[in-house]
Chain A
Amino acid sequence: MNLLRYQYAVLRASPLLAYLKGMPRISLSRALHLDLLATAHFRIAVFLAALFCLTSIAGATENYGLPKIDIGKGGECVKDTKWMRKNHMHLLYELRDKTVHKGIRDDKLSLKNCIECHASTKDNSVIGRADSFCEGCHRFEAVKIDCFECHSSKRSSAMTQKEH
Chain B
Amino acid sequence: MSDINVQRRQFLKTSVGAAAVAIAPGILLFDMAHGKTEAVTSKVRWGMLIDTANCADGCNDCVNACNKENGLSGGLSQTDSQWIRKVDLKDMRTGRELSLPMMCQHCENPPCVDVCPTGASFGRADGIVLVDKHLCIGCRYCMMACPYKARSFVHEPLHDQKADVPRGKGTVESCTMCVHRVDKGQQPACAEACPNKSILFGNLNDPDSEISKKIRTIASVQIRADLGLNTGIRYQGL
State the A residues within 8 Å of B (CB). 96-98, 100-108, 110, 112, 115, 149-152, 154, 156, 159
Inter-chain contact count A-B, CB under 8 Å? 67
Query: Chain A's nearest CB lies how many Å from the CB of B184?
Result: 8
| Contact partners of B117 in chain A: CB under 8 A | none
Q: In whole angstroms, how far apart are the Cα atoms of A110 and B157 in the complex?
A: 24
CB atoms of B160 and A103 under 8 A apart? no
Q: Which of B38, B134, B157, B169 has the most CB of A within 10 A?
A: B134
| Contact partners of B33 in chain A: CB under 8 A | 107-108
Q: A96-B134, A97-B134, A105-B35 are in contact. List 11 more A-B contacts (CB 8 A).
A: A101-B132, A102-B40, A103-B36, A103-B125, A106-B34, A107-B35, A150-B133, A151-B161, A151-B163, A152-B160, A154-B160
Residue of B at shortest CB range from A147?
B166
Contact of B37 with A by CB under 8 A? yes
| Contact partners of A110 in chain B: CB under 8 A | 35
Query: Chain B's nearest CB lies how many Å from the CB of A102?
Result: 4
Residue of A100, A103, A104, A112 near B132 (CB, 8 A) is A100
Say whether chain B's binding surface is mostly helix, strand, loop, or mixed. loop
CB atoms of A150 and B166 under 8 A apart? yes
Residue of B at shortest CB range from A151?
B166
Residue of B130, B160, B162, B168 near A149 (CB, 8 A) is B168
Query: Chain A's nearest CB lies how many Å from the CB of B195?
Result: 22
Query: Chain A's nearest CB lies how many Å from the CB of B24?
Result: 20
Residue of A at shortest CB range from B38?
A104
Q: In whole angstroms, how far apart are the Cα atoms of A96 and B161 in the complex?
A: 17
State the B residues within 8 Å of A (CB). 33-40, 122, 124-126, 130, 132-134, 157-158, 160-164, 166-169, 171, 179, 183-184
Query: Chain B's nearest CB lies how many Å from the CB of A164?
Result: 13
| Contact partners of B163 in chain A: CB under 8 A | 112, 115, 151-152, 154, 156, 159
Q: In whole angstroms, how far apart are the Cα atoms of A156 and B71 in the complex?
A: 13
CB atoms of A106 and B164 under 8 A apart? no
| Contact partners of B36 in chain A: CB under 8 A | 103-106
Contacts A102-B40, A151-B161 given: A107-B34 contact, CB under 8 Å? Answer: yes
Q: In whole angstroms, how far apart are the Cα atoms of A159 and B122 in the complex?
A: 30
